[in-house]
């Protein structure tokens, strides 16, 4: 391990951050009669009471200002079959929902169809954090399909989980 003074090189940081696998989520809502959403791989369960999760959003995001004004947001954990949906929801330009199956709620939240888990959420707080905003979302209603494996992002690529044989005592 090399030690040095801060700050670290951004490319080196991205490479190191990429060593930590994460699930891929989509945060979506209806805005002006159309689904609007984005992929977010910086997702963390935060609290059971109150029920909170967090996502991180780049401060320069053009999508987040459109979503943050909505009363409810749909948060979906993308399943391993959602590689194309994750790519589409990560686009800078064009219709992010082209080819993405989705469902909406009467309150305006939008979910990606076939997700591993999904939550009907509202914004609890936003915390500035460098070049990102940490968004705390309060879960209003959860649902999940634990038998549907999630999509994993690791080393700048989408991956799948592999089951390991485990000996039981």
What are the pLDDT digits (tens) for 53-65?
Answer: 999 999 999 999 9
Q: Looking at the whole model, is its pTM more than 0.95?
A: no
What are the pLDDT digits (tens) for 13-48?
Answer: 777 766 667 889 999 999 999 999 999 878 999 999
Among 141, 83, 90, CA closest to 114:
83
Cβ atoms of 100 and 88 closer than 8 Å:
yes
Residue ranges of domains in the chain, CATH in brackets: 23-152 (2.30.110.10)
**Top-confidence residue, 169 or 10:** 10
């Amino acid at each position: 391990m090399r030690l040095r003074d801060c700050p670290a090189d951004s490319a080196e940081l991205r490479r190191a951050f990429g060593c930590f696998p994460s699930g891929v989520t989509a945060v979506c809502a209806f805005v002006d009669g159309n689904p609007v959403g984005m992929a977010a791989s910086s997702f963390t369960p935060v609290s059971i009471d109150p029920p909170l999760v967090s996502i991180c959003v780049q401060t320069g995001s053009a999508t987040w200002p459109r979503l943050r004004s909505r009363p409810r947001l749909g948060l979906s954990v993308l399943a391993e079959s959602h590689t194309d949906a994750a790519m589409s929801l990560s686009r800078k330009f064009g219709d992010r929902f082209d080819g993405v199956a989705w469902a909406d709620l009467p309150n305006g939240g939008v979910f990606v169809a076939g997700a591993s888990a999904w939550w009907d959420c509202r914004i609890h707080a936003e915390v500035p954090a460098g070049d990102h905003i940490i968004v705390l979302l309060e879960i209003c209603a959860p649902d999940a399909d634990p038998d549907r494996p999630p999509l994993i992002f690791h080393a700048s690529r989408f991956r799948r989980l592999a089951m390991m044989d485990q000996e039981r005592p």
